[in-house]
């Protein structure tokens, strides 16, 4: 079938049978609508040859040879070539003539083509058609004839005869300049010497039967050569739509022969690159031109269709190579797309989810090829590298992306350039120079989808019809052609679209109900080894260039990649990070120079540490509260931030690598002199590592860096020769002084480590002196006598291995009655062990208790191999242990109990080993490397009776150990040290404080040890100062206790937060009083006792010197040693403290101690003596429904703890009461059960009744949730089908026997009998009467939550409420905080409604990674829930006390007035300017150019609250001359409001709203109202509002944001304010319009007074705007000009005379208008000044700013006192109005006021009221009595007259009886 108006393959179909004829008819009629259609017989085995004709108007027709277009698919040409060679020249000439005759017979003019079918076997030509147009392949003709056909057409159109056209004459071999006739039918042309082959470039998919494709084209790359050229109809960033023709390019190749042209075409096609969404067949055409049929020219028109159908043409490429490259491409595309999504989220303010970040590190890539599924596990091993694992094979690929988007991929030595795109149905891969191949997505066979873009023409089967495999089911129109789509399997079809629908590739067209699912071909996964070919895809030169640009990774490069968050490479995975580090430090193997190897290792270490710091520096800066502000705090581009976030996800691995680097650095270079020579840049990086925060996981590397830096300054080995010279010059009597010298006294270092290096000295004198100094220094603090060198012949001769023998006597500190004998033997080296065992004569002393074996020289191992060093040390220890074991009988015989072995290593610190008889003469590993006497001095053996100890760090005089109690319940870090520096009474406190701070340093470092990771042990400090304190006696015990207490209190005051952070629970200091013998005094303080100091006199064991009992210096109570260590209450609290720490808080029972510490700090700050008793806390327990006083000492079973505390504060030195309520997070996770709610309710109610502050410490997990535990084991299930549990169940039940065991109301059920057994089917579970439900498990807990929610709301109204959120506060806990209104929040104390894990489950993914995202400080501070943010619980308690300092002791009193160091008469020095300024400087003062400029408040007294919310308003509390005041001020500068993006809504974005200064916005208006309510309720603060507002923001956004509502709340808050309110418009401030309305004194005339500074302004509009109105838009301004300006007056006069001066008048007016507008503005401004405001009565007074402090202090002070009296009167006389009460107060003070000097009335009245409380109280009583009399009179008068006398008589009688009773 062929439509006559078709062409280019359109409108033509081959039909083999009736069915195809019907289908073909529909397709042809749709493709060429309205065209006549021919039906003709198909000619097979034919060639398509055509003759190019051109005719002129004179009847001539020339044949420009012709073309062979036999290579076709779907009757559309692919290759065209000329001249045709399949036909002989003679045969083709006849075809040309026939074509000429045809054209001449019809008078054809112009270009045209006569097409033939040619049968090579019969040499016959058969006419097809004449195309009356120029065809796209005309350049083939031009290439072989030299005739420019388009130009020839123009010439013909111009009327030029063919024979005169130069190109035609040249074609015939004639002179182009002549005009001879040409017989085009009979004259022969010159046969061409060139062959041309053309290829069409189309948007078709050769892998899918050349189906059309459409889409965007990014770029086309093609370069012409001398024998190849081409053109394209689409440029860069163009595209081909589904209704366009598929051809968009044409390539023409020429050569002397057909073969030359064919090869040139192949090369050209290989070098074409088309990047975009479409497919093109260029690679296919290369292979097509390589077929033998094409080479031999033995094709026909059906040849290509046959090849396509049979899929004969295949790309010549290795399948595994293509699969590998496809996996690389897909992995790269996935990473790019994931990065794009993450970066888009970051730009919107979304932190990337962990699940999304993991895709950037490791993921799967799936490919399908020829029924096999290839699952690659991809790991990104660097920014430009992947490791792909499949089956048994792992392949490493490095890549480099080119500007055009293609990738160079290197695997081994193979390199390929690849590109491609993910399409809806497949991945299309192009390997440059090889092939384009598609990898289809694995599809559901029941889904029939479109393979290309187009329009659905029709379905070929009815909906629900059966179709067979391979049968067409629908037709789509694409590229003006109708294409059939076939079903892949058999089944019943169901339509999903309607005819005419526009579809894209991959769209679902229909679904199938599979006829036989079992017959669907399955895709099998690949297994086994995956082999690549050896060849690469590039030429040798290009390959070398790419290989050079993609080098193999170095060892440090692999580690650097891991530090950046990438996966470990295969080599790194095999060796491990530590293995690679060791390889780096194996620097001089294989003959490398040692120095060079060391330099390489140091360079690599420096580089890697730099990478780690660069990645973590920013994240580490956020630790401590800003963790959720990663995006907001980062200043660089999102790409850089993503790299840091990705690196941080691998922090654990990074820390492992960095720790290994630091350990290797230490073990390889921390030797004699070596570490001091570290490069400066490496030292700088170590210093930065040391400065990393403790939290966040950095502790371990921080510790290692600190240790390394400490090692750098270690003097070991640095002054050995100087020490040797000193010993040579010293006599024996000098040795004791040298041994006892300490660091502060000496210029020479005499430490044991250095002294031991001289034991192998060649000089016997040096050796002997060195050993004696060693012994004397070891026993410092002991009494040492009779140090003698043993030279007895029997000892020397019978111990041939020894170089020296030494003996001495000694007694432990404090012991004089009994002495012990010590003995030291020096061995040259360890080889002497064997000889010593065989022959060892110990000196003939009766009993030697301690022996020291000093091995002078133990060979040191290579510093390049730490493993070797460890092995060598283990061997030495083992040999030593064997020797001691062999000598044990002899040691026992001599009465020896301790053997200390010192192994001196050349260049290293010595090793110290301890062997005790009590341990079976085995080494005590806990003491290893501790100096011999140190364990005893720091009482480590006593600790070991109760704890299993593990060393953390041991030094010369200190030991850090981790202890776990024998019952595993308690964990403690022990910091224990001995000091040999003498202290006097005058230096004792400062020395102890210094040592305590040093101990804190050690503890802080120890807490970073990996051993303590995820542990929260307490810490205990023990300091032992050995030199007796001079001039002391037992009379000084109490004084020493006081000095110690002073040091501890100073530590708490200065470092309380640090003590809390380090979890220090106990401090012990052991000192010696200078008696004879010295007396040991143990000074102790514990956190649980509020750090109060106690002192114990020790009784010592007369032999060992160990304490055996302790006598309390104050109480004289005696206890045993073991009781000092084991304190039952403290042990129990210790485990609870650990639980509280894990919750991020402090144990609730430790909070009173925190209050004590903070109060100490407050008292020290004011410079007064600290009172002895600062906190008295009475614990209240619920018993019988009421709170009773009872100390529980941590044995509480209810998770709510209450104290009534009396706090001795600087404001209330006599003490003030508060109710302290706190969750005990260690009891049922601090959840709110029924009992907890009841305790909370009663405590809060008590605070309300007493009118005292209620403080709530919030650390909880919300309302308690649970179940009836007893029923779990009883409950059984009735299944629908026991054999198939997935079918579900019918009900839950319990057996009859179990039912009978339960209380009556435990469950609600109904009985069912099954198989003769009674079941009780559960309808409801109540649990009444069962133990597990005690305290609540469900809704009863919620009811309790409702109870305390209501109570808290009432408490806020009636007393002062303040909440402190620490650890976490969940659900009702968060609501209680908000209902109490005032909140202090710890940075790690989120307030949330629902946990992150629960929300993530609801959302189905990990959206939230931390609770801070839901209720952390960066949520609760900006939204106004949190008033103040603190770093830790100690700071939190300080904030509580600071807030309380502004609050009166109860709701009936006024705020505390304290003496101020800042004189009230001081001038206010900081003056607000007309330009924007910081209002905090106005309130609190500021230092300018080094000089302090005082603000309005007392210096240091102003404290801002709610700083992060509503930033255009500043609120806080301060003091004015010692008087507490609440302050509201205005921000004059522009501020920003940040609204964070919602992590669960990916489309949300961060919003930054800019808010102008001096304007109320919804948030700042609400903040103002909130602050006013807070000041009024419970705080009773006088209020000062510094009013400098221009109005409210009235834009659409803010009106929608309810600015009107929140502005009205300001009025509401002021209306109900019960304290004096002062509105003050500051200098250069202004109050306008609506802002004035909400602050006007008439709102609350009883309490509000308004003042204005003499430089302030107030009015409706600002002067420029007012002038516009007042001067009628310059009308009156012009009138003023004419009235005031002489020139205009003159012009007006002239104009009145009739002169034409209008032009001059206008010019003058225009000139003067700006000046007179200023005059008008000034005129309006004069209306807004203080004098007018005062004259109309809207302000009380105009003030001068610098004098405002004193004036307002006395004014507010007077009003506060008067207001207080008025309130007392109103309470005394309930019906008295405020006005009446104030009238009585005025009357009370009238005489004082009248007598006051001018301007001093306020001061006089205030002072009189304060100094005459009795007169005030008398007046109150008088008014109360008068009111009572009036009330009695009214009541009696209201009685009937008959009753009045009787009642009066009874009252008189009652009065007489009462009077007698009182007498």
* Residue 1130 banded pLDDT, cuts 50, 70, 90: low
- Residue 1260: predicted pLDDT: 94
- Percent of the residues in the chain that have a pLDDT greater than 90, as a whole number: 50
Q: What is the DSSP code string of 1007-1025?
A: TTSGGGTT---EEEEEEEE
DSSP label at residue 1338: S
User: pLDDT tens for residues 292-338?
Assistant: 999 999 998 888 888 877 776 666 678 888 899 999 999 999 999 99
* Residue 1605 banded pLDDT, cuts 50, 70, 90: very high
User: pLDDT tens for residues 1622-1650?
Assistant: 999 999 999 999 999 999 999 999 999 99
User: What residues form DSSP beta bridges with 494?
Assistant: 511
Residues near 1591 by beta carbon (within 8 Å), at least 6 away in sequence: 1559, 1560, 1632, 1633, 1634, 1635
CB atoms closer than 10 angstroms to residue 786: 11
* Residue 672 banded pLDDT, cuts 50, 70, 90: very low
What's the rounded mean pLDDT across residues 194-200? 96
What's the rounded mean pLDDT across residues 162-187? 93
Q: Which residue has the higher pLDDT, 507 or 106?
A: 106
Least confident of 124-133, 565-574, 791-800: 565-574
Least confident of 285-289, 862-866, 1150-1154, 1543-1547: 862-866
> What is the rounded distance in angstroms from the CA atom of residue 812 to the CA atom of residue 1080?
12
Average pLDDT value for the chain:
88
Whether residue 570 has pLDDT greater than 60 = yes
- Residue 43: predicted pLDDT: 86
- Percent of the residues in the chain that have a pLDDT greater than 70, as a whole number: 94
> What is the rounded distance in angstroms from the CA atom of residue 1693 to the CA atom of residue 117?
109
- Residue 545: predicted pLDDT: 66
* Residue 1582 banded pLDDT, cuts 50, 70, 90: very high
What's the rounded mean pLDDT across residues 1203-1223? 96
Residues near 1491 by beta carbon (within 8 Å), at least 6 away in sequence: none
- Residue 713: predicted pLDDT: 54
* Residue 1058 banded pLDDT, cuts 50, 70, 90: confident
User: pLDDT tens for residues 379-404?
Assistant: 999 999 999 999 889 999 998 988 87
Least confident of 340-344, 724-728, 1781-1785: 724-728
Whether residue 433 has pLDDT greater than 70 = no
Q: Whose structure tokens read 């330009």?
A: 1475
746 is annotated as an active-site residue? no
What's the rounded mean pLDDT across residues 1674-1679? 87
User: pLDDT tens for residues 1138-1175?
Assistant: 888 888 899 999 999 899 889 988 998 888 788 888 99
Check the CA dihedral 1697-1701-1706-1708 and report its sign: negative
Whether residue 1364 has pLDDT greater than 90 = yes
Q: Whose structure tokens read 């008189």?
A: 1852
User: pLDDT tens for residues 1838-1862?
Assistant: 989 888 888 888 888 888 888 887 7
User: pLDDT tens for residues 1224-1250?
Assistant: 999 999 999 999 999 999 999 999 999
What's the rounded mean pLDDT across residues 1471-1485? 95
User: pLDDT tens for residues 220-230?
Assistant: 888 898 999 99
- Residue 447: predicted pLDDT: 83
User: pLDDT tens for residues 876-928?
Assistant: 999 999 999 999 999 998 889 999 999 988 767 788 999 999 999 999 999 98
DSSP label at residue 1263: B
Whether residue 521 has pLDDT greater than 70 = no
Would you say the pTM of this structure is higher than 0.85? Answer: no
Q: Say which of 101, 123, 133, 1849 is annotated catalytic.
A: 133
Q: What are 1743's two structure tokens?
A: 């003030």
- Residue 827: predicted pLDDT: 93
Of 1343, 1325, 1223, 1196, residue with least CA distance to 1271: 1325
CB 192 within 8 A of CB 142: no
Q: For 1121-1216, where are the alpha helices, taking DSSP H only?
A: 1121-1125, 1128-1142, 1151-1166
Q: What are 1839's two structure tokens?
A: 């009685």
Whether residue 67 has pLDDT greater than 70 = yes
Of 906, 910, 914, 894, residue with least CA distance to 863: 906
* Residue 542 banded pLDDT, cuts 50, 70, 90: low
Q: How far from 1782 is each of 998, 1584, 1737, 1760, 1761, CA to CA, in Å? A: 62, 21, 21, 12, 11
DSSP label at residue 1550: -
Q: What are 211's two structure tokens?
A: 């189906």
What's the rounded mean pLDDT across residues 406-435? 82
Q: How far from 418 is each of 220, 321, 377, 476, CA to CA, in Å? A: 15, 11, 20, 32
Least confident of 231-235, 1373-1377, 1622-1626: 231-235
- Residue 1257: predicted pLDDT: 97
- Residue 591: predicted pLDDT: 38
Whether residue 1780 has pLDDT greater than 90 = yes
User: What residues form DSSP beta bridges with 1428?
Assistant: 1384
Q: What is the DSSP code string of 577-604?
A: HHHHHHHHH-TTGGG--HHHHHHHHHHH
What's the rounded mean pLDDT across residues 1695-1716? 91
* Residue 670 banded pLDDT, cuts 50, 70, 90: very low
| Cis peptide bond prior to 1077, omega within 30° of 0 | yes
Find the distance separating the first CA and the last CA of the chain, reported in whole Å.
137
* Residue 1284 banded pLDDT, cuts 50, 70, 90: confident
What's the rounded mean pLDDT across residues 83-104? 94
Whether residue 711 has pLDDT greater than 50 = yes
């Amino acid at each position: 079938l062929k439509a006559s108006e078709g062409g280019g393959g359109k409108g033509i179909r081959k039909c083999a049978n009736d069915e195809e004829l019907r289908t073909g008819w529909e397709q042809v009629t749709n493709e060429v609508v309205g065209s006549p259609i021919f039906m003709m017989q198909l000619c097979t085995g034919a060639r398509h040859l055509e003759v190019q004709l051109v005719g002129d108007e004179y009847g001539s027709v020339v044949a420009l040879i012709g073309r062979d277009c036999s290579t076709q698919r779907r009757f559309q040409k692919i290759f065209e070539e000329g001249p045709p060679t399949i036909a002989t020249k003679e045969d083709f000439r006849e075809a040309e003539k026939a074509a000429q005759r045809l054209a001449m017979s019809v008078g054809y003019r112009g270009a045209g083509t006569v097409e033939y079918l040619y049968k090579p076997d019969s040499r016959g030509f058969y006419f097809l058609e004449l195309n009356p147009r120029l065809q796209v392949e005309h350049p083939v003709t031009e290439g072989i004839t030299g005739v420019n056909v388009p130009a020839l057409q123009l010439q013909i159109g111009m009327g030029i005869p063919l024979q005169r056209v130069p190109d035609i004459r040249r074609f015939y071999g004639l002179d182009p300049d002549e005009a001879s006739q040409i017989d085009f039918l009979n004259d022969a042309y010159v046969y061409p010497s060139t062959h041309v082959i053309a290829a069409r470039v189309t948007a078709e998919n050769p892998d899918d039967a050349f189906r059309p494709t459409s889409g965007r084209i990014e770029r086309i790359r093609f370069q012409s050569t001398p024998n190849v050229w081409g053109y394209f109809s689409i440029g860069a960033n163009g595209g081909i739509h589904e209704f366009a023709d598929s051809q968009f390019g044409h390539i023409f190749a020429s050569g002397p022969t057909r073969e030359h042209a064919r090869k040139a075409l192949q090369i050209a096609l290989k070098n074409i690159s088309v990047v975009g969404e479409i497919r093109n067949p260029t690679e296919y055409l290369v292979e097509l031109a390589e077929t033998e049929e094409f080479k031999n020219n033995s094709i026909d028109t059906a040849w290509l269709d046959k090849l396509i159908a049979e899929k004969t043409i295949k790309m010549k490429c290795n399948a595994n190579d293509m699969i590998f490259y496809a996996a690389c491409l897909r992995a790269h595309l996935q990473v790019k797309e994931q990065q794009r999504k993450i970066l888009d989220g970051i730009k919107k303010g979304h932190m990337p989810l962990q699940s999304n970040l993991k895709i950037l590190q490791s993921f799967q890539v799936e490919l399908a090829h020829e029924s096999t599924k290839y699952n690659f596990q991809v790991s990104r091993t660097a920014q430009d590298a992947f490791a792909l694992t499949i089956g048994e094979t792992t392949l490493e690929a490095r890549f480099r992306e080119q500007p055009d988007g293609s990738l160079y991929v290197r695997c081994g030595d193979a390199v390929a350039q690849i590109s491609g795109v993910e399409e809806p149905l497949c991945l299309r891969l192009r390997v440059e120079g090889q092939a384009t191949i598609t990898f289809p997505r694995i599809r559901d066979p029941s889904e029939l989808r479109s393979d290309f873009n187009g329009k659905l023409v029709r379905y070929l089967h009815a909906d629900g019809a059966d179709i067979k495999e391979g049968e067409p089911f629908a037709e789509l129109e694409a590229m003006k052609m109708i294409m059939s789509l076939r079903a892949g399997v058999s089944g019943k079809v169901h339509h999903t679209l309607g005819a005419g629908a526009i579809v894209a590739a991959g769209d679902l067209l229909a679904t199938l109900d599979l006829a036989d699912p079992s017959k669907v071909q399955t895709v099998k996964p690949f297994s086994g080894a995956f082999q690549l070919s050896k060849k690469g895809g590039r030429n040798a030169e290009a390959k070398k260039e790419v290989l050079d640009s993609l080098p193999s990774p170095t060892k440090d490069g692999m580690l650097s990649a891991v530090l950046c968050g990438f996966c470990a490479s295969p080599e790194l995975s095999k060796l491990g990070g530590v293995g690679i580090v060791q390889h780096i430090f194996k620097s001089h193997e294989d003959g490398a120079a040692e120095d060079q190897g060391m330099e390489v290792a140091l360079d690599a270490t420096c580089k890697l540490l730099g990478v780690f710091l660069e990645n973590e520096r920013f994240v580490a800066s956020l630790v401590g509260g800003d963790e959720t502000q990663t995006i907001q705090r980062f200043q660089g581009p999102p790409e850089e931030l993503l790299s840091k976030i990705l690196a941080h996800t691998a922090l654990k691995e990074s820390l492992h690598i960095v720790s290994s680097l630091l350990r290797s650095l230490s073990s390889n270079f921390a030797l004699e002199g070596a570490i001091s020579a570290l490069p400066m840049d490496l030292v700088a990086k170590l210093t930065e590592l040391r400065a990393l925060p403790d939290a966040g996981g950095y502790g371990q590397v921080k510790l290692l860096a600190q240790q390394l830096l400490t090692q750098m300054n270690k003097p070991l080995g640095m002054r050995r020769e100087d020490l040797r010279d000193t010993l040579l010059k010293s006599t024996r009597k000098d040795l004791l002084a040298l041994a006892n010298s300490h660091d502060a006294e000496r210029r020479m270092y005499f430490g044991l480590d250095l002294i031991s290096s001289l034991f192998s000295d060649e000089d016997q004198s040096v050796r002997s002196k060195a050993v004696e100094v060693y012994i004397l220094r070891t026993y410092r603090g002991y009494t040492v006598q009779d140090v003698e060198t043993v030279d007895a012949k029997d000892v020397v001769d019978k111990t041939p291995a020894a170089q020296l023998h030494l003996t001495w006597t000694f007694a432990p500190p404090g012991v004089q009655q009994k002495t012990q004998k010590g003995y030291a033997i020096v061995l040259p080296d360890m080889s002497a062990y064997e000889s010593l065992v065989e022959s060892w004569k110990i000196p003939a002393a009766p009993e030697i208790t301690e022996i020291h074996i000093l091995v002078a020289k133990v060979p040191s191992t290579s510093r390049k191999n730490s493993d070797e060093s460890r092995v060598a040390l283990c061997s030495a220890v083992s040999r030593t242990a064997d020797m001691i074991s062999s000598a044990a009988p002899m040691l026992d015989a001599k009465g020896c109990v301790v053997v200390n072995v010192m192994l001196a290593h050349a260049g290293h610190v010595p090793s110290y080993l301890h062997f005790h008889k009590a341990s079976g003469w085995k080494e005590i590993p806990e003491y290893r490397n501790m100096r011999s006497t140190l364990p005893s001095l720091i009482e480590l053996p006593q600790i070991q009776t109760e704890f299993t100890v593990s060393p953390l760090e041991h030094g010369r005089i200190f030991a850090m150990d981790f202890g776990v109690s024998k019952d595993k319940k308690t964990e403690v870090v022990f910091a224990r040290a001995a000091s040999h520096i003498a202290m006097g009474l005058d230096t004792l406190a400062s020395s102890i404080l210094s040592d305590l701070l040093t101990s804190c340093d050690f503890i802080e470092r120890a807490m970073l040890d990996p051993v303590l990771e995820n542990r929260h042990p307490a810490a205990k400090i023990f300091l032992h100062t050995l030199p007796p304190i001079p001039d002391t006696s037992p009379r000084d015990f109490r004084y020493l206790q006081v000095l110690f207490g002073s040091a501890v209190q100073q530590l708490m005051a200065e470092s309380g937060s640090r003590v809390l952070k380090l979890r220090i629970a106990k401090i012990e200091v052991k000192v010696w009083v200078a008696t004879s013998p010295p007396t040991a005094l143990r000074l102790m303080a514990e956190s649980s006792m509020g750090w109060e100091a106690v002192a114990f006199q020790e009784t010592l064991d007369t032999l060992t010197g160990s304490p055996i009992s302790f006598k309390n210096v104050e109480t004289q109570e005696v206890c045993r040693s073991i009781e000092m260590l084991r304190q039952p209450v403290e042990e129990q609290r210790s485990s609870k403290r650990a639980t509280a720490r894990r919750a991020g808080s402090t144990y609730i029972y430790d909070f009173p101690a925190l209050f004590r510490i903070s109060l100490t700090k407050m008292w020290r700050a004011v410079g007064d003596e600290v009172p002895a008793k600062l906190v008295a806390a009475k614990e209240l327990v619920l018993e019988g429904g009421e709170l009773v006083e009872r100390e529980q000492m941590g044995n509480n079973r209810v998770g709510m703890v209450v104290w009534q505390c009396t706090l001795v504060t600087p404001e209330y030195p006599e003490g003030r009461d508060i109710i302290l309520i706190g969750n005990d997070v260690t009891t049922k996770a601090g959840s709110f059960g029924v009992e907890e709610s009841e305790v909370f309710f009663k405590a809060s109610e008590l605070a309300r009744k007493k009118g005292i502050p209620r403080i709530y410490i919030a650390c909880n997990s919300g309302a308690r949730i649970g179940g009836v535990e007893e029923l779990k084991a009883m409950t059984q299930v009735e299944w629908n089908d026991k054999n198939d549990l997935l079918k579900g169940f019918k009900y839950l039940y319990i057996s009859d026997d179990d039912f009978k065991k339960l209380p009556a109301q435990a469950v609600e059920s109904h009985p069912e009998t099954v198989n003769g057994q009674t079941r009780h089917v559960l309808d409801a579970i109540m649990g009444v009467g069962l133990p597990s439900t005690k305290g609540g498990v469900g809704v009863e807990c919620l009811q309790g939550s409702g109870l305390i929610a209501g109570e808290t709301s009432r408490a806020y109204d009636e007393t002062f409420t303040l909440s402190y959120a620490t650890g976490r506060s969940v659900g009702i806990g968060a609501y209680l905080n908000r209902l109490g209104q005032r909140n202090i929040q710890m940075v790690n104390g989120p307030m949330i409604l629902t946990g992150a894990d629960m929300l993530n489950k609801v959302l189905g993914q990990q959206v939230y990674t931390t609770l801070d995202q839901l209720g952390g400080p960066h949520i609760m501070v900006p939204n106004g829930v949190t008033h103040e943010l603190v770093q830790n619980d100690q700071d939190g308690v300080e904030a509580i006390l600071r807030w309380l300092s502004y609050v009166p002791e109860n709701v009936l009193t006024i705020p505390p007035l304290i003496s101020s160091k800042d004189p009230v008469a001081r001038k206010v020095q900081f003056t607000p300017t007309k330009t924007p300024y910081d209002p905090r400087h106005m309130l609190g003062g500021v230092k300018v150019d080094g000089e302090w400029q005082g603000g309005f408040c007392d210096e240091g007294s102003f404290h801002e609250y709610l700083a992060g919310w509503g930033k255009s308003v500043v609120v806080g509390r301060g003091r004015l001359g010692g008087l507490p005041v609440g302050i509201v001020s205005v921000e004059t500068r522009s501020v920003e409001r940040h609204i964070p993006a919602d992590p669960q809504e990916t489309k949300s974005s961060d919003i930054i709203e800019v808010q102008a200064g001096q304007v109320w916005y919804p948030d700042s208006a609400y903040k103002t109202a909130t602050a006013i309510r807070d000041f009024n309720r419970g705080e009773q603060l006088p209020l000062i509002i510094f009013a400098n507002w221009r109005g409210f923001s009235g834009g659409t956004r803010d009106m929608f944001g309810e600015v009107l509502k929140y502005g009205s709340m300001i009025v509401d808050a002021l209306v109900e304010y019960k304290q004096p309110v002062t509105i003050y418009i500051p200098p250069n401030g202004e109050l306008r319009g609506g802002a004035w309305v909400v602050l006007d004194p008439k709102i609350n005339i009883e309490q509000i007074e308004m003042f204005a500074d003499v430089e302030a302004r107030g009015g409706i509009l600002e002067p420029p705007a007012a002038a516009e109105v007042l001067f009628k838009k310059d009308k009156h301004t012009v009138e003023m000009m004419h009235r005031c300006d002489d020139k205009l007056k003159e012009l007006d006069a002239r104009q009145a005379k009739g002169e034409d001066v209008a032009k001059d008048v206008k010019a003058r007016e225009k000139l003067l208008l700006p000046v007179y507008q200023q005059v008008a503005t000034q005129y309006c401004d004069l209306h807004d000044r203080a004098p007018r405001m005062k004259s109309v009565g809207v302000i009380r007074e105009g003030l001068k700013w610098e004098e405002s402090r004193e004036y307002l202090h006395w004014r507010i002070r007077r009003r506060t006192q008067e207001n207080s009296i008025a309130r007392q009167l109103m309470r005394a006389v309930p019906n008295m109005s405020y006005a009446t009460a104030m009238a009585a107060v005025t009357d009370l003070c009238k005489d004082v006021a009248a007598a006051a000097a001018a301007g001093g009335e306020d001061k006089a009245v205030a002072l009189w009221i304060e100094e005459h409380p009795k007169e005030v109280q008398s007046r109150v009583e008088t008014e109360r009595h008068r009111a009572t009399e009036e009330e009695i009179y009214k009541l009696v008068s209201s009685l009937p007259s008959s009753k009045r006398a009787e009642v009066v008589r009874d009252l008189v009688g009652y009065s007489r009886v009462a009077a007698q009773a009182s007498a």
